[in-house]
Amino acid sequence: MAEPLIRISNLHFQYQTPDGKALPALRGINLEIESGDYVALVGANGSGKSTLVRHLNALLLPDRGDVWVDGLNTREVTAHPLIRQRVGMVFQFPEDQIVASVVEDDVAFGLENLGLSSEEIRQRVAEMLQTLGLWEHRLRPPHLLSAGQIQRLALAGVLVLRPRCLILDEATTMLDPQGRLRLLALVEALNREGMTLIHVTHHMEEAVRARRVIVLHQGEVALDGSPAEVFADADRIRALGLEVPPALQLAQQLHGVFAGFPALPLHPEELLAGVPRYPHTHPAHSEVLNDHRQPSPALVIEVRDLAHTYLQGTPLAHIALQDVHLQVGEGQAVALVGATGSGKSTLLQHLNGLLLPQRGRVRVGPYHLDALQDVRLVRRYAGLLMQNPEMQFFETYVGDEVAFAPRLMGVKDLRERVRWALEMVGLDFEAYKDRLLFTLSGGERRKVALASVLAMQPKVLLLDEPTAGLDPASRRELLLNLQQFKARGTTLVIATHHLDDLLPLIDGIEVLFKGTVQVEGTPERIFAEGLSLESSGLVTPLLYRVVQRLQQRGWPVPWVNDERQLVHAVAAALRMGYERIV
């Protein structure tokens, strides 16, 4: 039998903490990856995924055990150039991987290292830029590209080397749903041409696209097999901090109500194709399409004619917002969605006065931002959780970090306030207050960041991509937290690419496109009317696609916001049918 492309034997690796303790990251990994395979590597935050893949191109070397790539042992330093030529890797934060200050030069970087001729380099760079749609941007500085463009640039710099194996280490995190699908389609096409693909991801709907799924848990291989095998045991998957793919999860619940639904679909398409026809004669739709619109609450946020241009008056100026209108009622949860670079973060930063209106009016609670004396007041009223907040911690200990804002506000019982904020996000005050921030897991860090905003007791909570980079279990807990805040009357404005995660929470959606609000309305309205949202980078959430398909197949089910409601609606529709027969 042919030698596998990658062979890992009894791999052990540990990190040294600053206080001299050893932190085991990988504990006896044995794996073989065949040439041309498509592997998804999943696991909770901190399970060792990134550490493992960094061994595959000799960025890390084993403490014990061996890694062979194409027959080359990674311990042989002289083999490193060859190994790295064969195994390319794209990391989570694309901007950290860019070497040059011009797009085309960055793509050429790896080829220059290979020592190819100028002619060949020029040709391969041009080809790659065109394939990835970066040709028009070839002369721009990378730090001014959009998130999607810079991610494609990072990919181009690796693919241009024509690696035999490509590793994506959570490389889709910063992209909008359409962007993710496009990126995956691109690398999957290369996989069909023979390139081995290893995809590290937190999204199970992405993992099921692979032929093989490997689950890591605390530095060991917990499960390894085809997606169908790995996700068969839902309880085990949850115990490992993961979740079953959304299509499977929904199908299992529907299957429990009515056996006509497919029991084990992994892909959304399988579930949709398997939606059965309504087994009874169906009543008219209008009877069940309940319009549960409540009287509009008082408006907390009002934005009119807002416009913003970054770097105004310089040759690098670009328009981020124009003529934006936004209204958010008290206690509502509104999602700002749209492609990367559509202006979501810019709008969000206007709502707590980080940016002040260049044109137009912004009112948040009692504060008018165009005529404000002390901008700190609005920042307390509307707390903002920035993107990747754990990268902006300023203290060393959890307690100090959470106390930062209330201390500046002059809160009297600081200790009580910190305790309250930590408990709001489900962290025990005594257990966590003296822990070092950098020893926390990814999910815990996000919670501390959330707690440190909550410590100001804001009336409005602004969240920028709150679920990005979190594993499924942490995403679930965050959703529960947000639901609690909403129940207590907090108004939420959330900029997100991951609408699926937050759907049960959302009252309204604002779709931004190139700096303006293109569409707004309730989730039902936006997705029921099947508005074309592809240009906005959106993908219709699975739940709505299923509702749509059910209705097409004669089921009298209304538009609903979460899975439980859908299961109830399907059960009710069945009962209704039986009652008619009786």
| Residues between 1 and 20 that touch other proteins (CB under 8 A) | none
| Residues between 186 and 215 that touch other proteins (CB under 8 A) | none
Backbone angles phi, psi at 260, to 5 degrees: -70, -15
Taking the complex as a whole, the smallest distance from the CB of residue 372 to other proteins amounts, in Å, to 8
Backbone angles phi, psi at 109, to 5 degrees: -50, -50
Taking the complex as a whole, the smallest distance from the CB of residue 546 to other proteins amounts, in Å, to 38
Taking the complex as a whole, the smallest distance from the CB of residue 183 to other proteins amounts, in Å, to 18
Residue 190 to residue 184: CA distance in whole angstroms: 10
Strand extents, DSSP E, 465-521:
491-495, 508-513, 516-521
**Stretch touching other proteins by CB under 8 A, among 5-13, 83-91, 534-542, 565-573:** 83-91
Residue 399 to residue 470: CA distance in whole angstroms: 22
DSSP state of 334: E
Among 273, 356, 431, 436, binds other proteins (CB under 8 A): 356
List, in order, residues 6 or more apart from 484 with CB less than 8 Å away: 424
Q: Applying CB under 8 A, does 170 fall inside the site for other proteins?
A: no
Window 413-452: contact mask with other proteins (x via CB under 8 A): ---------------------------------------x
| Residues between 53 and 82 that touch other proteins (CB under 8 A) | 54, 57, 59, 80-81
Taking the complex as a whole, the smallest distance from the CB of residue 71 to other proteins amounts, in Å, to 19
Residue 28 to residue 10: CA distance in whole angstroms: 4
Asked if 137 and 145 count as a contact pair (C-beta separation under 8 A), the reply is yes
| Residues between 302 and 341 that touch other proteins (CB under 8 A) | 310-311, 313-316
Among 65, 141, 504, 554, binds other proteins (CB under 8 A): 141
How many residues form the binding site for other proteins (CB under 8 A)?
A: 75
Asked if 210 and 191 count as a contact pair (C-beta separation under 8 A), the reply is no
Taking the complex as a whole, the smallest distance from the CB of residue 35 to other proteins amounts, in Å, to 20
Looking at the DSSP bridge assignments, the partners of residue 68 are 7, 73
Choice between 258 and 420, CB closer to other proteins: 420
Closest by CA to 361, choosing from 449, 408, 302, is 302
Among 13, 25, 104, 275, binds other proteins (CB under 8 A): 104
Choice between 10 and 118, CB closer to other proteins: 118
Residue 109 to residue 116: CA distance in whole angstroms: 11
**Stretch touching other proteins by CB under 8 A, among 36-44, 112-120, 514-522, 527-535:** 112-120
Asked if 224 and 212 count as a contact pair (C-beta separation under 8 A), the reply is yes
Choice between 144 and 289, CB closer to other proteins: 144
Residue 8 to residue 30: CA distance in whole angstroms: 5
Taking the complex as a whole, the smallest distance from the CB of residue 257 to other proteins amounts, in Å, to 45
Window 143-162: contact mask with other proteins (x via CB under 8 A): x----------x--xx--x-
Strand 333-338 to 508-513 pairing? parallel
